[in-house]
Amino acid sequence: MTVRINPSILSADFVNLQRDVERIASADLVHVDVMDNHFVPNLTFGPQMVGRLQAIAPIPLDVHLMISDADRWAPGYAELGAFSVTFHAEAASDVVETARALRERGSRAGLAVKPGTAIEPYLELLPEFDQVLVMTVEPGFSGQSFMAETMPKLRTLRQAVERHGLDVWLQVDGGIALDTIGIAAEAGADTFVAGSAVYGRDSVEAAIAELRSAAEAHSHGTPGRV
Ligand SMILES: O=C(CO)[C@H](O)[C@H](O)COP(=O)(O)O
Ligand SMILES: [Fe+2]
C-alpha cells in the first residue's frame, strides 16, 4: 500500500510560509488547515492565502477545511486548484452534494470526522469520496496527543474500502509522530498528516523520511505482514 506523508503547515512559521513550504518538497502533499474561529476555536487563513500557496508550492495542496457552512465555501477552494479538499461531516448539510461539487471542479473530495463522530452513517457514501480523514485529535490546534480510541473507526473504514474494492485514501491527522504513526498504519491509514513532528525537527527532510519508513513498516500489504 502506498504511504503518503502530508506535513501540516499549521506548525510552520506563518511569516515565512513560502520558505517552509519549499522545505517539504520531499513530502507527498502540503496539508493546509483552514480554520474559521467558528467551527473550531482557532483562526488561520482563507482562500486568498490558499490561492497564493497553490501558486508557489512545490507539491500539491491537501486542503483541510475546519469551517462552518462547508457546502457554501468548499467548492471555492477546489476552484483555486487544490489537489484535494476535505470538509467536515459535522459542518455540511449535504455531504454528497458538496463532494460532487468538489469533483466537478477537479479536486479530490474528502470527508473528515471529529473523534466523537461515528463513521457508520457515511460508509454507504464512500464511493462519493476520494479520501476520508479520521481526526486523531479534536480539530483546532497542532501539538495535541494522538487519540488511540479513534482507531476502531479506521479499521471499520479499511474493511469497507477493501470489501467494496474502492480506491479511497484513509487519512489521519493529529498527534502523528514516530511513536504513533505505526499504530495508525496498522489500523489501516495510508495518508498521514504531521505538523509538529515535521516542523519541530531541525531536519524536516529527515523527519519526513523517518515517518515514511515507520508507516511503511506497519502498512497493510507490506511483505511479511500477517
Ligand atoms: O488539523 C489539524 C488540527 O486541527 C492539523 O492538521 C494538526 O494539528 C497537525 O498538527 P500535529 O501533527 O502537531 O498534531
Ligand atoms: Fe489538518
Residue 226 lies in a domain: no
- Residue 187 is assigned to a structural domain of this protein: yes
Sequence-ordered list of residues with C-beta below 8 angstroms from that of 2, at least 6 positions apart, any chain: 190
> Could you tell me the three cell numbers for 212?
515514511
Which residue among the candidates 20, 28, 33, 130 is catalytic per the annotation?
Answer: 33
Mutate to test the pocket of ligand 1, among 173, 180, 181, 199 (most ligand atoms within 8 A of CB): 173
**28 part of the active site:** no
pLDDT of 225 > 80? The answer is no
Give tens-digit pLDDT for 130-184.
999 999 999 999 999 999 999 999 999 999 999 999 999 999 999 999 999 999 9
* Residues 74-120: tens digit of each pLDDT: 999 999 999 999 999 999 999 999 999 999 999 999 999 999 999 99
Q: What average pLDDT does the structure give for the chain? A: 97
Is the pLDDT score of 1 beyond 90?
Answer: no
Asked, for residue 224, whether it belongs to a domain, the answer is no
* pLDDT for res 223: 46
Residue 34 domain-assigned (yes or no): yes
Q: Is the pLDDT of residue 226 over 50?
A: no
| Phi (first) and psi of residue 171, to 5 degrees | -110, 145
Q: Is 140 annotated as a binding residue?
A: yes
- ipTM > 0.95 (yes/no): yes
**Structural domain includes residue 91:** yes
Q: Is residue 225 part of a domain?
A: no
Pocket of ligand 1 (CB under 6 A): 8, 10-11, 31, 33, 64, 137, 139-144, 173-176, 193-197
From the list 20, 28, 130, 173, the catalytic residue is: 173
Q: Total structural domains in the chain?
A: 1
Residue 24 lies in a domain: yes
What residue numbers bound the domain in which 129 lies? 4-218
Domain CATH number, residue 137: 3.20.20.70
Is 8 a member of any domain? yes
pTM: 0.97
